[in-house]
Copies of this chain bind each other. A is one copy, B any other.
Amino acid sequence: MTKIEQFQQVINDLIHRQKFDGNPRALYEPISYTLNQGGKRLRPLLTLLACDLFDGDTEKALYPALAVEVFHNFTLVHDDIMDKAPLRRGKETVYKKWNSDIAILSGDTMFAMAYQYTLQTDAALIPDILQVFSKAAIEVCEGQQLDMDFETETEVSLADYLNMIRLKTAVLLGASLEIGAVIAGAAKKDVKAIYDFGMALGMAFQLKDDLLDVYGKQEDFGKMSGGDIAANKKTYLFLKALEMANTEDREKLLALYDNNNGLADEQKIAHVKLLFEKIQVKAAVELAMENYYNEARRQLKHIHAKAEKKEELEAFASFLYKRNY
């Protein structure tokens, strides 16, 4: 069993030991449903890996790691209301299965629980952990708001988009790692470097997500394939395609992303994919993703830690990079 598998098991065991069986049931059932659904458990894994990287006691990082996972799941529950997403991890979203009021309130409770989990570690560590955690939490909200703003804005630049995914996605990956490093008592410079590693990895991760939404298989990915296209989401793929396209193709693409064109979702997705192929945008997005991935590896190189421990994080980054779900 690799260290990654070992940590994954520790996290899954920890989550299964949480009962989420409080009252009222209407509040806790959606929480139990959400947290027992699996998912990649990426963020808590990063917390444990970072703690271990700097030779910290990973026992002290367990509940803060759980906190990050519960927080992440809270954001998904609320985002799914706003995005009107029917499916998450191949299952009905909370707002679909119950209703949006319950999704709001279960989400709020998960947020409070996340904070409570951060307190289950050495008292002396709590202020620093919470600084990192609260800052990330606010930035994630800012990112989600930008994402919503983009829906109605006609001009979204690639830079705007990258700033949005930095806040919405990358920051929490960075923070997950930073919390692990803080618990291990890593040097300030290394704490910064592991955060930057996480940020770059997070950017690559989100670009991969954009690609998978269009090119991944629904059974692997757990979300509706082409969902971003159906929802007129201004993803990196779409914005880059607009940038690369000639005038004619750009107009075609914009016309396809118009709800009044009378096309059914399947037709629309098929047409957009054909245009993407013609423009050869997939390779361009893959290149951007690779740049972020290389930046992450560069940050990791600068960190003062044992080579074999750095390899664990490198292996994990590589796994994320190559994933098909």
Q: Which residues of A contact B (CB under 8 A)?
A: 22-24, 26-27, 78, 81-82, 100-102, 104-105, 107-109, 111-113, 115-116, 118-119, 123, 126-127, 130-131, 133-135, 137-138, 141-142, 144-146, 148-149
Contacts and interface: CB of A to CB of B under 8 A. Distances in A.
Contacts of A145: 24, 26-27, 102, 105
A188 to B, nearest CB: 17
10 contacts: A24-B149, A82-B105, A102-B148, A105-B145, A108-B108, A115-B130, A115-B133, A115-B137, A116-B138, A123-B127
Given A24-B142, A115-B134, A118-B130, 20 more contacts: A26-B145, A26-B148, A26-B149, A27-B142, A27-B145, A78-B104, A78-B108, A81-B104, A82-B105, A102-B145, A107-B108, A108-B111, A109-B141, A111-B112, A112-B134, A113-B134, A115-B137, A119-B127, A123-B127, A126-B127
A85 to B, nearest CB: 13
Instruction: State the oligomeric state as a number of copies.
Output: 2
A145 B108 CA distance: 11
Contacts of A112: 111, 134, 137-138, 141
